[in-house]
A and B are shown apart, each in its own frame.
Chain A
Amino acid sequence: MSTQNAVPLTPAEVEQLRTDLANLLRDHVCGNLVSAVFNQLSSNTGKKAFSADAMEIFNAVEKQGGFGRRTLVATAEGGSTVGNGNAFININFFVSPEPMISASNGRVILHELFHIGSGTNSDYSHFEMAQAAFDVAQAQGFTSLGVRPSGGDPGGHDRANSEIFNSILFRACHVR
């Protein structure tokens, strides 16, 4: 179980999240960016990603700490790392197959998979994620990215870099 306060998601809910993720990754722009960001995180931070395939990380989380739901001052949270063997994700939203909602929920899950997708015992911070996403987006020809993230605060409270990461992720991964 993920955390003491979380209610485990039903198998149907987990399956919907898996579909949300699969639908996003099926789009080659999204799929390419996501796998490249995992590789970039490995090289930028020295902390090797568990996999460059987000679906593999999703499946690992399912077998480890699992997926739960609890009230948060955030849309979702991820804890530990896949490398630790007890990674978990808790969500604070309801799943739906409606295409735009599915895409949005898939991006939130992706965000958390990035946090906990390290194959080491140390997770990826918002700053590390934003910087890696910026590097990849720039290399892949995305424009109007602004300046490369150059600072972050430790502890995962870094809102600015979280939003930069979410913005880049949205540009690659959305309903077309």
Chain B
Amino acid sequence: MTTAIITSFVCLVLMSPTLLPGKGLVKTGDVHVVNEGSQGNGPGIFEEYDETKNLQQRLDRLDGFAQFLKLNPSFQAYLISYGGRRVCRAEAFRRAQFAKNYLSKVKSIERNRITALDGGYLDEWGVQLWFGAQGEAPPTPRGITGRPMGQISKNCKPKRTKRKMHGS
């Protein structure tokens, strides 16, 4: 029953109007240099997922990240979404927004602690879950910006998550 409710909510989040392109995605620029103390540790990668991970494995990583953020309430979350060689229009954006919505709406992490970043393009698409201490500059994406290395398909529709019904 709980799984069915969560899965339904994920579907709802996926179809949310906040997924419209042009909202909330931050383009990053040059390398940030901050004073972080003598030999401090800058932002770190908590986890990442890509096409090799199924939906449940992706959610497991987001769940673990949410748990980590609740344990460390002063930390900020950075979701860096990369497009691959062959991408749909706004695909990386949708993935970043899905992760942001899941963390905020399903796992109750404050939205102002979560920043979605356009990582540019890599060979394969992927989403990295980074964290940083309060006051630190966000991590720098390492993808190629501008035109993708491959092709952008025309407005292909995102796959809908199949609703699974489980008896209780």
Contacts and interface: CB of A to CB of B under 8 A. Distances in A.
Interface of A: 71-79, 92-94, 96, 98-101, 104, 107-108, 111-112, 115-116, 123, 125-126, 144, 146, 153, 156-160, 162-163, 166-167, 170, 174-175
A54 B61 CA distance: 27
B132 interface: yes
Contacts of A116: 39
Contact of B44 (A111, A123, A146, A158): A111
Interface in B100-147: 122-123, 131-137, 139-140, 142
B36 A73 contact: yes
Interface stretch (B5-13, B16-24, B68-76, B158-166): B68-76
A75 B47 contact: no
Interface of B: 31-48, 61, 64-65, 67-68, 71-72, 74-75, 122-123, 131-137, 139-140, 142
A73 B40 contact: yes
Contacts of B75: 75, 93
A73 B39 contact: no
Contacts of A158: 33
Given A74-B133, A158-B33, A112 B67 contact: no
B53 to A, nearest CB: 12
Given A74-B41, A75-B132, A112-B41, A163 B139 contact: yes
Nearest to A124: B39
A104 B40 contact: no
A14 B71 CA distance: 17
Report which residue of A75, A144, A170 has the largest number of chain B beta carbons within 10 angstroms of its beta carbon.
A75
A65 to B, nearest CB: 13
A101 B43 contact: no
A10 to B, nearest CB: 16
19 contacts: A72-B40, A73-B35, A73-B135, A74-B40, A74-B42, A74-B136, A75-B75, A76-B41, A77-B40, A79-B39, A93-B71, A99-B64, A100-B65, A101-B67, A112-B39, A156-B36, A156-B39, A166-B45, A167-B142
